[in-house]
Amino acid sequence: MILKTQGLSKSYGKIRALDGLDLEIREGEIIGILGPNGSGKTTTLALVLGVIFPTEGTFEWFGGNEENFNKRLGTILETPNFYEYMSGMDNLKIIQQIKNKPGQDLEELAEMVGLSDRIHTKVKTYSLGMKQRLAIAGAMVGDPDVLIFDEPTNGLDPQGIADVRNLIIDISKTGKTIIMASHILAEVEKICTHTVILQKGQLLTSGPVKTILRETNAYLLEAEDTEALKNCLKSMEGYIDSHEEEGGLLVNFDENINASHINTHCNKKGIVLSKLFKKESSLEDAFIEMVNNHKRDGQNQ
């Protein structure tokens, strides 16, 4: 077991920033701690890194057998800060000295993060994406077992986001455990093997991304007369429910219904479909459904 928390909580006066988090992370997993701003993501990371102390609950790294667990961790918690007037390589050398981890090939590390052609130029000439890659290289100094990133793509342009995403995926292939907090659902879906979803300090769910993205049989349909389309579908065997959203009518069917069934039924009823495609489940859909269910449960208590 890499990390285990039990009832981990943090309060600031009447504000419950984290409320009884039970979590288990195993070796080699890529964990996405997901939630909007204020959900408890950064608080969770700060607690398990020992930056702040819990109000209640406990956590343990590596089965509780490591007193100096931080030596096996590489972290980026905030916007990375470097000596701007120095080169990227000189910054990495300073990090190496601070960590007291000599012997690592820093040139090789720079190549791994895609900075080999700029590692000897001053950091003040780097773009934000390059600085983020340098920060990841800094976190990897000393070859830690676990890498922890807080919003690693925050503030980056689309190309920078893609670069950092691909870099994290490449690093994960080396067998390292990666824990990243993010509010960008699409990035967690693309990068992570497992996710932890928080809302206002409470755990909504955790587990493999593929499990949370449970298979649905939903189709986005469009016709000239939406009301007529709705009435047509209600008479169709296998119809479950529908609601309007941007781009058309989203309709849920039983698992045995396919596009051909839908098109044939609508044609028989005189409805010509201008749009018909299956909508894949996304982490965003799952998250929104969980948040809405959480709100309803709270109102019913």
- Is 300's pLDDT higher than 60? no
Same domain membership, residue 82 and residue 51: yes
Same domain membership, residue 108 and residue 18: yes
Same domain membership, residue 54 and residue 162: yes
Same domain membership, residue 168 and residue 44: yes
Same domain membership, residue 82 and residue 48: yes
Going by C-alpha positions, the residue among 298, 78, 281, 285 that lies closest to residue 201 is 298
- The identity of residue 2, as a single letter, is I
0.95 exceeded by pTM: no
Same domain membership, residue 107 and residue 241: no
pLDDT of residue 291: 66
H helix intervals, the chain? 41-48, 88-99, 106-112, 128-140, 158-172, 185-191, 209-212, 226-234, 259-268, 283-300
Averaged pLDDT for residues 28-43: 90
Q: At 218, is the secondary structure helix, strand, or coil?
A: strand
Q: Which of 62-71, 106-115, 151-160, 253-262 has the lowest mean pLDDT?
A: 62-71
In this structure, is residue 47 part of a structural domain? yes
Number of domains in the chain: 2
Averaged pLDDT for residues 52-63: 94
CATH number of the domain that 250 lies in?
3.30.70.100
Contact (CB, 8 A) for 179 and 34: no
- Is 301's pLDDT higher than 60? no
Q: Where a domain ends, among 187, 212, 237?
A: 212
User: Which tokens in the block code for residue 159?
Assistant: 């190309």
Same domain membership, residue 99 and residue 23: yes
Most confident range, picked from 182-191, 211-220, 221-230, 273-282: 221-230
- The identity of residue 17, as a single letter, is A
- The identity of residue 216, as a single letter, is T
| Domain membership of residue 224 as a residue range | 218-280
Contact (CB, 8 A) for 103 and 142: no
Mean pLDDT of the chain: 89
CATH number of the domain that 147 lies in?
3.40.50.300
Same domain membership, residue 184 and residue 244: no
Same domain membership, residue 260 and residue 175: no
- Is 79's pLDDT higher than 80? no
Same domain membership, residue 234 and residue 188: no
Same domain membership, residue 178 and residue 33: yes
pLDDT of residue 210: 79
Same domain membership, residue 203 and residue 83: yes
What's the pLDDT tens digit per position in 203-260?
A: 988 989 877 766 568 899 999 999 999 999 999 999 988 888 877 898 988 888 999 9
Determine the Cα angle at 37 with ends 59 and 60, to 5°.
Answer: 5
pLDDT of residue 2: 95
In this structure, is residue 286 part of a structural domain? no
Contacts for 36-42: CB closer than 8 Å, 24+ residues apart = 36/183, 36/199, 37/183, 38/200, 39/183, 39/198, 39/199, 39/200, 39/201, 40/10, 40/198, 40/200, 40/201, 40/202, 41/150, 41/181, 41/182, 41/183, 41/198, 42/77, 42/150, 42/181
Name the DSSP class of 112: H
pLDDT of residue 223: 93
What's the pLDDT tens digit per position in 97-127?
A: 999 888 899 999 999 999 999 999 999 999 9
